[in-house]
Amino acid sequence: MKRTITMIIIAGLLCACAQTVVLDNGGEYLLDRWTLNQEGTSISYDVEVPSTVAGALCDQGVLGEDLLNGLNYFDVDKSIFDKVWTYKTSFNLDKVEGQRYELVFNGLNYYADIFVNDRCIASSDTLYGVFLKRAFDVTDILERKNDIEVKVRRAQPGDLNIGFVDWNPRPLDESMGIIQTVKLCASGAVSVEDVYVIPDLDVETFAEADLEVRVDLKNRTSVPVCADIAVAIQGGETCLIPVELAADERKTVVLTPEQAAILHIENPRVWWSYDLGSPELYDLNVKVSSEGEVSDSKDVTFGIRKIESWLNGHGYRQFALNGKEILLKGAGWTDDIFLRDTPESLERQIRYVKDMNMNLVRFENIWGKDDTVYDLCDRHGVLALVGWSCQWEWESYCGIPEIHHVGCIYEPETIDLAARYFEDQVIRLHNHASVIAWMTGSDCVPIAELERRYLDTYAKYDYRPYISSAKSLKSELTGWSGSKMAGPYEYVGPDYWYLDTQNGGAFGFNTETGIGANIPQVESLRKMVPEDKIWPVNEYWDRHCTTSGTAMNSMSELTRVINGVYGEAESLDDYVRKGHAVDYDATRAMFEAFRVNTPVSTGIVQWMLNSAWPSIYWQLYDYYGVPVAAYYATKKACEPLQLIYNYKDHNVYAVNEGKESMDVVATVKIYDADSKLIDEQSRTFSSAYRKTVKAFDLNGFHGAAHFVALELADADGRFIADNFYCIGAKPNVYDWEDFTWYYTPVTEFTDLRFAFAQPGPEIAMAVEENDGVYIVTLENKSQTISYMNILKAKDASGNLIVPAFWSDNFFPLLPGQVKTVTCRADVKGVQVELNN
């Protein structure tokens, strides 16, 4: 375990007073308080590390107020980021005789010169890149008082940098800075460089598991050393293993149950994703001692579980967790545009993933200024799919001419850099129980020379499935990826996911797709667009769409869809409400179709989960942390047991991804376009895991506008889930021949104007508070359907509370219906508003 033994912080500014550090062997100290200065100027800013230069300046107010709102971002003079920026910190050290000290940088971006006590220990001619861990032995340089300077310069076109691609504008500074943690580490003669745990679980009985533990040691002296490795799990019995290291030797010691009986575990606590069980974790401690003294130690957290993946009979990639086949349901992650996520914001977002009933986050890029987000996935039981971004696969983003299906990495220098990136990041993540696979290509496959190096590294440092591409491509070395990335990224109707059998429809493993605009709630829109530009929709809105040069860069498509489906909006509120309805139905159907089509469908990843800056496109909650309609649509679609309307064959199906089989009672009610109940049916049947059961045939209502209300209960009548659909008299018409990489255009829209044409309903609302949970009961006292009821939790100032976890939202109310929902918020005095 790396531990801070003594830390004395002397009050005052960092530039004026240093911190005093005392470390025992195995100790480490986080250097997080720095100053930042632009070379050639006299002004310094107190900043925290990790940080980007632009992020630090933004937090200091240097870049102006409301930088990310309106068009302000595009007016910033970026030339200041062409300069060299210098981070400085100081500390006092009480050195201990015989200790070795390392200065460890876990992530610098992009070019850096590092000075310790005015001595250059690394220069930018060789120190460049972003996904590399750098460690420097500074034992002979450190004194009582120590000064560190890091001079950084931004990435240039052609560099392999962090990639936001077309999701949002490029960071002003290209993310330059000290973007991951900096630590001072101490050890004796032998250091523990890494501990890697490989679990082998018996998934037939779950009665036992074996662990293989690989301990990477380094002799930091110029003489041979005899040492003892001590291993303990959960603070229990310790096993001792002797080891000899030659002078300056680095050695990996492989421990198995044959050498250490504690590595055989009876009745292990198994790590499951949260939807299938409990995400159980173990702590393992490794100490290395020499001459009777602890020289170094390391703690790791791991999970005992088994991840498998294969191409099924259709050629699609299927995953299994602990022997159980799973449908991956997730969304694509991005960090804040200035990499300013906090432990609190990350915790909230992983809780959002669980609240939406998804089981996966796809990290297209190795995000995070430390391991917090991956630790959270481990602890919360959320699966993580990691890999490289398509930033390096397109000339327009990377700055290097691309080769078809290979991308921009093909020259020896970039191949070597990418291979080094891969090794450091695989080692960084290989103990995380949540990580189910690495995806080394996004829109392309690695060139064979690079992939050989990837595979050599993977064989040494990881055991989980390796996937060459997020796209349906064939690698020379590893064969077909078994995944697909065929869009859409722009609007398609709910029926598309059932109708399409060639591109993004509900078959196979779709690694990124979505319906384009996921419009924020009006309160968020008012933050990102100036009040005098808020209506009608204009270029201020457009600049908060994507930055793609092809499409998805304006509000024109969403406006066309709203006009075609619900009729032209009469006001801002009307536009947003209809935009929510478009978003809800299309996003819900995307997830639902993949569930209905299991096992032909194996995975679905919404593009995207979140936004790096205030955005209108590609998100399930907005930049401010406020859920959009698609959030609640996803939550509804991914309920473990649910009834789903199939837009293709007009039947209703029951799906089950719960922990067990059970008998259920399904009910359907059909209302005509005037809210009159015209049919009601119920039936009882058994629902089993990953079995799709046809519950009702609704073809008799096809051809007339109607509403479909569904409810599922257990055998004792206890509520499980509900669902609701607005079905037009005629379906959407698609131009299948005019398919592009981003969508299949709708040429004629289904007419759902009757949904918002119902006479104004009378809704009564009652709110009770019980220990931080707000119980909201709504009663529709009218004889018409209230199509979309939006509940908002606000504070005393009228601001939306973040986070606020609603059990359901953006839902309809049937004539005479009484519905109770709950809201969990960590604030007092919540004011609930109803918008219908």
DSSP string over 52-75: EHHHHHHHTTTT-TTTTSTTGGGG
The Cα–Cα gap between 715 and 726 comes to 28
The Cα–Cα gap between 470 and 392 comes to 14
Burial 22-56 (b: 16+ CB within 10 A, else e): bbbbbbbbebbbbbbbbeeeeebeebebbbbbbbb
Cβ atoms of residues 499 and 649 within 8 Å: no
Q: Which residues pair with 36 in a beta bridge?
A: 45, 87
The Cα–Cα gap between 536 and 348 comes to 33
Cβ atoms of residues 655 and 678 within 8 Å: no
The Cα–Cα gap between 675 and 690 comes to 34
Structure tokens given for 365: 């890029």
What single-letter DSSP state applies at residue 800? Answer: B
Give the model's pLDDT for residue 71.
94
Question: Does residue 8 register a pLDDT over 70?
Answer: no
| SS3 call for 130 | coil
| SS3 call for 512 | strand
Kindly report the average pLDDT of the chain as a whole number: 96
* pLDDT tens sequence across 575-634: 999 999 999 999 999 999 999 999 999 999 999 999 999 999 999 999 999 999 999 999
Question: Any idea which residue has 């209502």 for tokens?
Answer: 701
Give the model's pLDDT for residue 146.
97
Task: Fill in the amino acid letter for 628.
Answer: V
Structure tokens given for 322: 């602990």
Strand locations in 627-748 (E):
641-645, 651-656, 662-672, 677-687, 693-697, 706-714, 719-727, 733-734, 746-748
* pLDDT tens sequence across 630-671: 999 999 999 999 999 999 999 999 999 997 899 999 999 999
The Cα–Cα gap between 634 and 625 comes to 16
**What is the average pLDDT across 50-63?**
96
Burial 372-393 (b: 16+ CB within 10 A, else e): bbbbbbbbbbbbbbbbbbbbbb
**What is the average pLDDT across 532-559?**
97
| SS3 call for 575 | helix
Question: Does residue 1 register a pLDDT over 70?
Answer: no
Q: Give 616's contacts (C-beta < 8 A, 6+ positions apart).
A: 517, 518, 519, 520, 525, 541, 544, 545, 555
The Cα–Cα gap between 301 and 305 comes to 13
Measured CA to CA in angstroms, residue 452 lies from 74, 222, 309 at distances of 42, 34, 20
**What is the average pLDDT across 361-378?**
96
Burial 121-147 (b: 16+ CB within 10 A, else e): bbebeebbbbbbbbeeebeebbeeebe
pLDDT above 70: percentage of residues in the chain: 98
Question: Does residue 26 register a pLDDT over 90?
Answer: no
The Cα–Cα gap between 824 and 105 comes to 40
| pLDDT band per the 50, 70, 90 thresholds, residue 23 | confident
**What is the average pLDDT across 155-166?**
96
Cβ atoms of residues 561 and 746 within 8 Å: yes
- For residue 32, which of 106, 123, 96 has the smallest C-alpha distance? 106
| SS3 call for 823 | strand
- Can you give the three-state secondary structure of 396-430, one letter per residue? HHHCCCCECCCECCCCHHHHHHHHHHHHHHHHHHC
Tell me the Ramachandran region of residue 121: left when phi exceeds 0, alpha when psi lies from -120 to 50, beta otherwise: alpha
The Cα–Cα gap between 127 and 117 comes to 19
The Cα–Cα gap between 657 and 720 comes to 13
The Cα–Cα gap between 422 and 331 comes to 23
Give the model's pLDDT for residue 4.
28
* pLDDT tens sequence across 191-221: 999 999 999 999 999 999 999 999 999 999 9
CB atoms < 10 A from the CB of 688, how many?
13
Measured CA to CA in angstroms, residue 575 lies from 521, 537, 567, 570 at distances of 11, 9, 10, 7
* pLDDT tens sequence across 431-483: 999 999 999 999 999 999 999 999 999 999 999 999 999 999 999 999 999 99
Q: What is the largest CA-CA distance in the chain?
A: 89
| SS3 call for 106 | coil
pTM higher than 0.95: yes
Question: Does residue 10 register a pLDDT over 60?
Answer: no
CB atoms < 10 A from the CB of 313, how many?
8
First to last CA, the chain: 55
The Cα–Cα gap between 444 and 308 comes to 23
Question: Does residue 258 register a pLDDT over 50?
Answer: yes
Radius of gyration of the chain from Cα atoms? 28
- For residue 376, which of 331, 342, 421 has the smallest C-alpha distance? 342
Give the model's pLDDT for residue 406.
97
Give the model's pLDDT for residue 17.
54
Cβ atoms of residues 184 and 28 within 8 Å: yes
- For residue 628, which of 619, 637, 636 has the smallest C-alpha distance? 619
More confident residue, 65 or 345: 345
Give the model's pLDDT for residue 339.
98
| SS3 call for 464 | coil
Question: Does residue 163 register a pLDDT over 70?
Answer: yes
* pLDDT tens sequence across 274-332: 999 999 999 999 999 999 999 999 999 999 999 999 999 999 999 999 999 999 999 99
**What is the average pLDDT across 794-799?**
95
Question: Does residue 12 register a pLDDT over 80?
Answer: no
Torsion of CA 345, 350, 351, 356, to 10 degrees: 130
| pLDDT band per the 50, 70, 90 thresholds, residue 13 | very low
Question: Positive or negative CA dihedral for 673, 676, 679, 682?
Answer: positive
Question: Does residue 418 register a pLDDT over 60?
Answer: yes
